[in-house]
């Protein structure tokens, strides 16, 4: 039995005491005791709790692996996330001030990747238990929208229908405006009987679309509203995690693009930013995934009152826009995946583009790419944190940069 004081949180939200000893579920400043095995105190008893400790809002928080930080107050989590950002910026010598912080409310995540298994009595759907691949039921989940939480019986019905005896289904459910959009992986191969029973489930639970591996059955368009346009993303395509987070990011991007008449949206997805920005400017959207480009274009063609939007499928890692292509725009929005956009930012640094909105879900690659832009003469005029990943260790950032 050892007694230790936790000094900091690791990047997965575990407490870390000198040693290092990893203490799951423990906050900085807390004194704990327990057995330590292989550098982990798996079952700590709290001797002195932190003032930042709160009772978890969700009844599944202790066992469920879906959330990491339900035991910490919102203020603590915000301060911790700001610190993660500050440290990433410091490491690159960037001294930008962080302006506003948005935190999405509980019950607002609009997509969940549930796991489901067959059991002796039928099926069980939920999330994995912390640090394990055992599936646990989460009927009172406080993270996802109420429609997603209520969809678990439907996910179980899918497992009864098409999970192999020992295998696990991965069922991604998205709360779209047209109804639930469900995408299933890891099940039996689809055949005529499965197809017909899937149609029954879709009808019974009022699903908009159900996709089994690559085969989609659409009852109603599972659409999302991006400004004046309605877009039906391809199954499983990227979407911002919450509606509130998306609105906060869009506001920051719109502010950064004020006055721009012609904008390139790089890593545009299905048009989250491109389509609302088309109310004020001509847009050229670039995105790697062809089906997403098609969805964006279709959304624009069917909307009223938008300026011209062109869209191109292009791999911006291998084939970034070059300075002469970038110089045709007076604003650039860039929202790359976690790896950042080193090659594209290198070209942006050589361009004459006046305004950049840089969105990122990774503070480390964000800081690396921003440092290159600062070196090239850009200034950060606004920096906001958008925490659409409540109770997790993730966060989103958006910066406005300008060059005279
Ligand atoms: C963080 S998402 C942002 C999407 C969009 N801006 C939004 O807010 O919905 C990153 C996007 O980059 C795309 N992507 C990933 N790698 C890419 C590449 N090498 N070239 C172009 N696009 C890529 C993904 O398909 C995804 O749509």
Strand-pair category, 262-266 with 331-334: parallel
Which helix (H) or strand (E) segment is 173 a member of?
strand 168-176
Say if residue 349's pLDDT is above 90: yes
CA of 316 to the centre of ligand 1 (A): 9
Which helix (H) or strand (E) segment is 250 a member of?
helix 243-256
Say if residue 131's pLDDT is above 90: no
Altogether, the residues listed in the chain come to a count of 404
Within 13 Å, how many C-alpha atoms sit on residue 103's CB side?
16
Which tokens go with 53?
């400790």
Q: Is 337 in the pocket of ligand 1 (CB under 6 A)?
A: yes
Rounded CA gap, 76 and 53, in Å?
9
Q: Is 272 in the pocket of ligand 1 (CB under 6 A)?
A: yes
Under 8 Å between Cβ of 292 and 237: yes
Q: What residue owns the CA closest to ligand 1's atom 16?
A: 288
Residue 191 makes CB contacts below 8 A (sequence gap 6+) with none
Rounded CA gap, 340 and 88, in Å?
14
CA distances (Å), origin 14, targets 11, 19, 32, 42: 7, 14, 13, 11
- Reported confidence tier of residue 12, pLDDT bands at 50, 70, 90: confident
Rounded CA gap, 247 and 319, in Å?
30
Q: What residue owns the CA closest to ligand 1's atom 27?
A: 269
Say if residue 165's pLDDT is above 90: no
- Reported confidence tier of residue 374, pLDDT bands at 50, 70, 90: very high
Q: 288, 320, 333, 357: which to mutate for ligand 1, most atoms within 8 A of CB?
A: 288
Rounded CA gap, 121 and 144, in Å?
26
- CA triple 89-99-11, angle to 5 deg: 45
Within 13 Å, how many C-alpha atoms sit on residue 329's CB side?
26
Rounded CA gap, 245 and 389, in Å?
9
- CA triple 106-109-115, angle to 5 deg: 115
Q: How far is CA 309 from the centre of its chain?
A: 25
pLDDT tens by residue, 289-301: 999 999 999 999 9
CA of 43 to the centre of ligand 1 (A): 40
Mean pLDDT on 58-79: 94
Mean pLDDT on 114-123: 94
Please list the active-site residues.
Answer: 361
Q: What residue owns the CA closest to ligand 1's atom 22?
A: 288
Per-residue pLDDT, 164? 85
pLDDT tens by residue, 216-226: 999 999 999 99
pLDDT tens by residue, 22-62: 999 999 999 999 999 999 999 999 999 999 999 999 999 99
Closest ligand 1 atom to 270 CA: 9
Q: What residue owns the CA closest to ligand 1's atom 4?
A: 269
Q: 337, 362, 366, 386: which to mutate for ligand 1, most atoms within 8 A of CB?
A: 337
CA of 348 to the centre of ligand 1 (A): 17
Per-residue pLDDT, 309? 98
CA dihedral 14, 18, 20, 24 (to 10 degrees): -20
Averaged confidence pLDDT in the chain:
96
Q: 318, 336, 360: which to mutate for ligand 1, most atoms within 8 A of CB?
A: 336
Q: Is 108 in the pocket of ligand 1 (CB under 6 A)?
A: no
pLDDT tens by residue, 263-308: 999 999 999 999 999 999 999 999 999 999 999 999 999 999 999 9
- Reported confidence tier of residue 404, pLDDT bands at 50, 70, 90: confident
- Reported confidence tier of residue 150, pLDDT bands at 50, 70, 90: very high
Per-residue pLDDT, 166? 82
Mean pLDDT on 378-395: 96
């Amino acid at each position: 039995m050892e007694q230790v004081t936790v000094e900091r949180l690791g990047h997965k939200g575990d407490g870390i005491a000198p040693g290092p000893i990893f203490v799951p579920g423990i906050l900085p400043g807390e004194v704990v005791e327990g057995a330590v095995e292989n550098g982990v105190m798996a079952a700590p008893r709290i001797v002195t709790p932190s003032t930042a400790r709160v009772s978890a809002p969700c009844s599944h928080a202790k066992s469920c692996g879906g959330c990491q930080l339900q035991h910490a107050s919102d203020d603590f989590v915000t301060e911790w996330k700001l610190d993660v950002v500050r440290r990433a910026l410091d490491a690159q010598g960037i001294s930008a001030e962080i302006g506003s912080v948005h935190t999405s409310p509980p019950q607002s995540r609009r997509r969940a990747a549930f796991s489901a298994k067959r059991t002796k009595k039928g099926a069980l759907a939920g999330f994995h238990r912390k640090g394990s691949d055992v599936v646990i039921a989460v009927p009172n989940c406080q993270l996802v929208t109420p429609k997603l939480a209520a969809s678990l019986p439907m996910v179980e019905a899918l497992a009864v229908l098409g999970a192999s005896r020992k295998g696990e289904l991965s069922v991604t459910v998205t709360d779209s405006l047209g109804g639930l959009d469900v995408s299933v992986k890891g099940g039996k191969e689809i055949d005529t009987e499965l197809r017909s029973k899937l149609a029954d489930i879709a009808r019974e639970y009022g699903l908009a679309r159900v996709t089994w591996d690559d085969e989609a059955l659409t009852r109603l368009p599972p659409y999302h509203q991006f400004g004046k346009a309605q877009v039906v993303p391809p199954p499983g395509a990227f979407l911002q995690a919450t509606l509130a987070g998306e609105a906060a990011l869009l506001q920051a991007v719109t502010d950064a693009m004020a006055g721009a008449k012609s904008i390139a949206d790089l890593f545009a997805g299905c048009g989250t930013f491109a389509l609302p920005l088309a109310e004020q400017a001509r847009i050229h959207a670039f995105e790697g995934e062809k089906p997403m480009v098609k969805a964006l274009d279709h959304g624009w063609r069917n909307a009223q009152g938008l300026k011209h939007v062109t869209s191109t499928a292009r791999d911006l890692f291998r084939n970034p826009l070059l300075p002469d292509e970038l110089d045709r725009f007076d604003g650039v929005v860039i929202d790359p995946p976690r790896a950042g956009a080193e090659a594209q930012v290198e070209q942006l640094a050589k361009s004459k583009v006046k305004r950049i909105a840089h969105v990122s879900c990774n503070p480390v690659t964000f800081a690396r790419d921003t440092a290159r832009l600062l070196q090239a003469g850009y200034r950060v005029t606004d920096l906001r944190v958008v925490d659409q990943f409540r109770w997790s260790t993730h966060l989103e950032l958006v910066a406005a940069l300008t060059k005279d």
